[in-house]
Each structure stands twice: as structure tokens, then as C-alpha cells.
Amino acid sequence: MSYLAEISRTNPTCFIFLVDQSKSMDEPFGAGTGQSRAQGVADAINRFLQNLAIKCAKADGIRDYFHIGVIGYGNEVASAWGGVLSRKQLVPISTVANNPLRVENRTRQIPDGKGGHLEQKFKFPVWIEPFAGGKTPMSRALEVAMEYLELFISLHPFSYPPMVVNLTDGLPSDSDPRPHAEAIREMTTSDGNVLLFNAHLSGLVEQPVHYPSDESGLSDTCAKLLFRMSSVLPSKFVDAARGESFNVTDESRGFVFNADVTSLVRFIDLGTRPFVPSARQ
């Protein structure tokens, strides 16, 4: 497993988000923000897409270093894109950037340098809407992700390995997802195995567990299941996690348990940071 392939327009990689849209996702995180898990996930993915588009923007436009897929699973298992992108599977980042559903005017609090805060207005593009309804057909979502991956790898067999990020608040309702997760982790490009990361979203007011190396400290059935489904972190990811002061080892996995909004954003940001495109291509 090398994970050394250069990311370029001629040799892109891809991200696939699996988004739990079951009824329980309408419940809030446990940190007292009042924000639903569905809204928190949508905001985190939308922020990621905006930042990724900015990273890929060059003088000649947005370069297609990445292809993105978002699969929602709740009442149905289907592409979660809306508007012009509705029902599309893997979408080049330039097409994503040019086709948000809308751009919202939002506000945030920033330090004023005097111990207080100021309200700052900003533009927030929206591609993914929050939704919560139905059960949790996670196994089927993993099967659909495999279909996306098979197509991408057939077209880009020498790419930096794709990454799948599963965001959920509970156990699957359809079948044991571990065989599907294992099948995804065994898929390869010439540069290494596909990476599968999992984030468990929680309403508990407890500290999240980031990147554990074993399941001894995980008492929850869902935590153990998602841990077993997750890829071991490649060295680039271990270095990135250590740079953010996470306590990780060479056996740590791409998994966070009891995630709140803040840890969810950090999980997505950190998990995708080692994907650095070449400025030359």
C-alpha cells in the first residue's frame, strides 16, 4: 500500500460520502447546539465541497482533480445530489462547484480582539440538503458505493486510491454490512486499497473517540461494528492526525465514535487532507 500516486487532471481520485438519512438523524447532537444530525452532516459536506473547489481553483478555472459522489440511505438508497446534479453518481469537482442548489447568506461569530465577538456575514453554497426519514439500509448503500468504485477504478486504474466516508448514527437495518465493507477495502488501484472511514454521530454528551487502534475501549455494539468496518490509517493519515495532536498509532483506524458537530468537521477535514493535487497538472 503505497498511496504515493500524483493527483492530477489526467489521474484524478474520488471521494464518496455515504449519508445516513434515517429518521433518527432528525435528532440533535448532544453538545447542546440544537442542530439536528442531518443538518450537521449536510453542513459539513457542503463546507468540504466549497473548500475542495477552492483548492482546485487555478488561473484557468477549477481543475478536475477529484470526482465526488454522495449516496443517501434512508427511505431509499440513491444519489443525494439535487438540482442540476440530481441522480448523478460521480461528479467532477468543477461541475459540482458550478452547480450548487443555492447560495445562502449566513452569519458567524468571530473574535473582535477585545474579548468579545463580532457578527460576520458570509456566503455558504448548498449542494446537499438535510433529510431524515425511514430506516438505515447501510449494507445497500455500501453495495451502491461499490458500483461507483468499480466504474471509477476501471477508468482510472492508476489513481490515488478512492476514499469512502460513511456518516451514521446507528446500526444498519438491512443486513450485516461487514462483508460489503471488507469488499470495498479490498478494491484497489495500482497505488493501494480503497479507504473506508466511518463516523458515528451521537446525541451523548461525552468526549468523542478518535482513531482508536483497538476496540477494547468501545463498549457500544455500533462502535465495535463500525471500527471493524474501517480501514487502518495509511502513514500519511497518521502523520496528519499526529499533527493535529491526536493520539494515534500505526494500527489506528479511520473511525470516530460519539462525534459531535466539531469532531465531525475535523474528521472530514483531517481524513481528506493527505489528498494534495499536483500544482503542475
Domain residue spans of the chain: 13-100+127-272
Q: Which CATH number fits domain 13-100+127-272: 2.40.50.320, 3.40.228.10, 3.40.50.2300, 3.40.50.410?
A: 3.40.50.410
The three cell numbers of residue 72 are: 443517501
Single-letter amino acid, residue 263: S
- Using DSSP, state whether 120 is helix, strand or coil: strand
pLDDT at 32 (0 to 100): 60
pLDDT at 274 (0 to 100): 62
pLDDT at 49 (0 to 100): 94
> What is the Cα–Cα distance from 21 to 37, expressed in whole angstroms?
9
Q: What is the mean pLDDT of each run of 10 residues along the chain (281 residues)?
A: 87 96 89 80 93 91 96 96 94 97 85 75 92 96 98 97 94 94 98 95 79 87 93 91 90 90 81 61 56
Q: Name the pairing type of β-strands 188-189 and 192-193.
A: antiparallel
Residues 6+ apart with CB under 8 A from 18: 71, 73, 138, 141, 142, 145, 164, 165, 166, 167, 168
Pick the closest to residue 62 from 92, 91, 94, 85 (CA basis).
94
Single-letter amino acid, residue 272: T
pLDDT at 31 (0 to 100): 58
pTM of the model: 0.92
Q: Which helix (H) or strand (E) holds 66?
A: strand 66-73
pLDDT at 233 (0 to 100): 93
> What is the Cα–Cα distance from 142 to 80, expressed in whole angstroms?
14
